[in-house]
Structure formats: structure tokens, C-alpha cells
Structure 1
Amino acid sequence: MGDAVAEATEDNRGDWADQHLATYLSSGGARGHLLNLEQAGGRAFTTHCLLRVQGRTSGRTYIKPLIYGNVGGELVVVASKGGADTHPEWYRNIRASDTVDVQIATEAFEATWREPDDEERHEVWAFMTHLYPPYITYQQSTSRRIPLVMLAIGKPIDVFTA
């Protein structure tokens, strides 16, 4: 069931995600950080970061725009893949690395990552579902536990380019 929900979500997005990424990159982060996601069940001012990862087998560089929250000074991203039954590739690539690059608006950083456990995970999940309520439906549509990734910002790096 999860893959069907994820596919429908992806179909509804159309080229929107590609356009969002292109806008974020071409503006150096001046545009694309805040988006109105009310039509998708989200909030009017939803924050987005760019995550840059290396492919664990291909070695290629991938950049993905993701909704993020800030919990206790760490960024949080959700590996929802629209409720699909498999984890997103960016998440699988992160797990193969100690660090990841993240851009927030016009600033980019190297970051370390971790996954919250137990009570902390419960609190972070509650925060992220408040930030973007469709995550609840995504979790209900799949039997996998949707991962949460906490990013601790490190040294500054150059903003991303296409």
C-alpha cells in the first residue's frame, strides 16, 4: 500500500520538485528555502534545505531538497519518500557516510548525522508531523518505520551549484 501512496504523491508533484531544486540552486539559496505547502496539506511557511550526498555505489553527487525542522539546535529531515515501502536513496547514501553537506537558504555546511532513539525520537516525530502533517499519512501507508535524521552543523562550505 505504501508504494501506491508514494506513487500518487509523486504524480501530484509532477515537475515541481525539479523546479524547486533548480530555483534553489540557481538563486544561491535566496529562493526556495521557504515554500507554501498548504495545497499539499502542509504549512504556509515550510522550511527547506538542500542535502548533498555521494552515491554509495555510483560515487555520483546528488542534491535533494527536503523539508527540515530545528530541534535543540540540530536540523531534522524525514526519510519519508512519500510513504513508500522502501527508504529513499538519499537516506541509504547518508548511512554509508559519516558526514553530509547541507544548505540552508544562502549558507552551506558540512554536517554529521545521527538518528534519534526512543523518547527523543517520539518527540522529534511529533514536532515534524506538526511541521508537515502529511508525514502522519505517509507513516500509516507503510509498514517500515520512517527514519528521522538529525544533522549537527559543522564547518561552513561553499553553497551548492547545479
Structure 2
Amino acid sequence: MSEVHDSPTGWVARHIREYVESGGERGHRKWGVNTLLLTVRGRVSGKLRRTALIYGADGPGRYVVVGSNGGLAAHPAWYLNLLADPQADVQVGQDGFPARAAEADGADRERLWQMMTRLWPQYDVYQTKLPDRRIPVIVLERTGTPP
């Protein structure tokens, strides 16, 4: 397997390290919500990039994440990388698996946005501050189990 590069943001990197070093026993539940690890291939570098994200579950094998980028005006790199290559690796607690990403739209996006803002109300605050950027809602769907 290729080397995985963790988020360069210090507190995110520490969260990832705690998650990985404990095999998902610690770090899954953070800030009162569930989090997952998302690994994607960089669209420019080709390197594997890993970050930690708040998620919601939308049925078996379907995990929803939000591309809020902490309320910044630009989309997060992981989202742009998924647009280039929707294949990803996901770790939810102790369970790691391959997944395919798809951006939610229409009524499905609105339903999932409401679900996610109930979990993390700050998303609504970010969207209000970003009228020129529609924050993406991404569904990560399990495509198999690791070897």
C-alpha cells in the first residue's frame, strides 16, 4: 500500500493519529459526534491523503459527510480530490472499507443536509456566511470489504 499523508492541520493530524493508533477504538467519537477517516488520492500529487470528518449514517453502508471546510470560502481539498476520483477508503471506528463517493443533489441533498445540521448545527452557520458557495453533501457508499 502507498504511504498515506495525513492532514497538515495540527489538530486534525492529532485526531487521525489517535484514531489510527487505537485501531478506531479512540477518536471515532469526538466533540459529541461520530467521525470517520477518509483517504482519497490527490488529484495533482497522486498521493494518498487522509482526513477526519464528522459523519451521519444514511442506512447500511452509506455515510454522509459535509464539505464545509470549517466555514472557509474554498471547497476542501478532499472534496476536490473526490470529484477527480470518487474511489476512497473509509474507516468508521474499527471498520475499514473501500467506498465510492457521490455528491447528493435535489431533494436527497436537502434531506441529508437537514440530517447533518441536526448533528452539527455549525454547518448552517457556515452556509449563512458563504452565500456564494453551496456547501457540498457527499455520500460515501461501501463498495466492498478489505482483503
Same-fold status (TM-score > 0.5): yes
* Contact 1:49 1:65 (8 Å CA) reproduced: yes
Match of 2:15 among 15, 20, 25: 20
Residue 67 of structure 1: aligned partner: 54
Q: TM-score if structure 1 supplies the norm length?
A: 0.80
Q: Does residue 82 in structure 1 map to residue 70 in structure 2?
A: yes
1:15 Cα deviation after fit: 3.7
Classify the secondary structure of the residue corresponding to 1:112: strand
* Contact 2:102 2:140 (8 Å CA) reproduced: yes
Residue 127 of structure 2: aligned partner: 139
1:113 Cα deviation after fit: 1.4
Moved more, 149-158 or 135-144: 149-158
Classify the secondary structure of the residue corresponding to 1:110: strand
- Unaligned 5+ segments in structure 1 are 1-13, 38-43
- CA RMSD, 1 decimal: 1.4
Match of 2:98 among 110, 126, 139: 110
Classify the secondary structure of the residue corresponding to 2:55: strand
Structure 2 residue identity aligned to 1:31? R
Structure 2 residue identity aligned to 1:17? V
Runs of 4+ in 1 over 4 A off after TM superposition: none
The aligned length equals 137
Distance 2:146 2:54 in 1: 21
Residue 32 of structure 1: aligned partner: 27
Percent same amino acid at aligned positions?
Answer: 39
- Asked which structure has the greater RCO (Cα within 8 Å, sep 6+), the reply is 1
